[in-house]
Amino acid sequence: MEILTTMITPYKTDGSIDFYTALKYVDWYYENGLDGIFAVCQSSEIFYLSLEERVELNRRVYKRAKELDKNFLVVSSGHISDALEEQAKELNAIYESGTDALILITNRLDINNEGDDVFIENAEKLIKKLPTDAKLGLYECPYPYKRLVTPKILDWCLSTGRFYYMKDTCCDSQMIAKRANQLKGSHFKLLNANCQTLLETMRNGADGYCGIMCNFHPKLYSWLGKNYNSEKADLVQSVIGTFGFTEVGLPYPLTAKYHMNLCGIKTKNIARNRKCEELTEYAKSCMQQMKLATDNIEKYLEV
């Protein structure tokens, strides 16, 4: 199993990216047993970052990850434009800054949700504009709308031989099982982003996890990825599944940035997609309680 976190972006008081703190996050992800990072994604607030910021953030994250361990995976997205020409420009810039795989946001390939033929036609045009040696992936990003892939699209991906990773956000364990079966035997890995269905889907053929909750308790996900058939796995699943409901109703990524403070990494209460006032005392208390519970579960698991 491969367990990846989504990368959050810290800022300085003046609103610029705090690259020094971002690299501390990379170290923290690695030290807590994760297999890699999904850099320059929605958690990174990509729709609120300039291309120059996206490229520089990715460059520094990739460089630091490889300094820690050449096998510490970094996959990267970063294309937010509507026009394919602009998307190609964005993705090529990201690729040149360093990545193990370029991740294509599915709704960017079918802006108006017109159907699989439009998706595939646009995808074919786009990948022709990318380096031929670039490994590719898919991400069912929820913003501005969630464009789920279909069996037809997955078959097309397999036919190209170019696709290696998919961040699955369908939140449907039966659909994930079907997708995993369709991809079985290929190098195309299916990573579930939904923690509530994670254990079931790993047991049914999914290849791991890629999601926001690794910003809160990465050791639990790392443990589960290695021990999903153990007797304790169902208990751990029940815990992370319950914790996962904090994704809705609390001001992520401010909650994740606050949590980094609880873990000893000083981080400003600043995001470009949320107002700082949204991080209320209630939200802080929820994070404190989750951190306390996480610490005790880690002790129970001896991790």
pLDDT tens sequence across 182-197: 999 999 999 999 999 9
51 contacts: CB under 8 Å, gap ≥ 6: 78, 89, 90, 93
- In this structure, is residue 69 part of a structural domain? yes
What was the pLDDT predicted at 281?
Answer: 98
Could you tell me the pLDDT band of residue 42, with boundaries at 50, 70 and 90? very high
Query: What rounded mean pLDDT belongs to the chain?
Result: 98
- In this structure, is residue 263 part of a structural domain? no
- In this structure, is residue 26 part of a structural domain? yes
| Residue-wise pLDDT tens digits, 118-157 | 999 999 999 999 999 999 999 999 999 999 999 999 999 9
- In this structure, is residue 139 part of a structural domain? yes
- In this structure, is residue 302 part of a structural domain? no
| Residue-wise pLDDT tens digits, 92-129 | 999 999 999 999 999 999 999 999 999 999 999 999 99
- 279 and 269 Cβ atoms separated by less than 8 Å: yes
The CATH number assigned to the domain holding 140 equals 3.20.20.70
- In this structure, is residue 35 part of a structural domain? yes
Number of domains in the chain: 1
Find the DSSP H helices in the chain: 19-31, 51-68, 84-97, 116-127, 151-160, 173-183, 198-203, 218-226, 233-243, 254-262, 281-301
**Pairwise CA distance, residues 209 & 221, whole Å:** 8
Can you spell out the DSSP letters for 245-274?
A: GGGTTS-TTHHHHHHHHHTT----S--SSS
pTM: 0.96
Could you tell me the pLDDT band of residue 198, with boundaries at 50, 70 and 90? very high
**Which residue range forms the structural domain that includes residue 25?**
2-228
Amino acid at 235: L
- In this structure, is residue 286 part of a structural domain? no
- In this structure, is residue 237 part of a structural domain? no
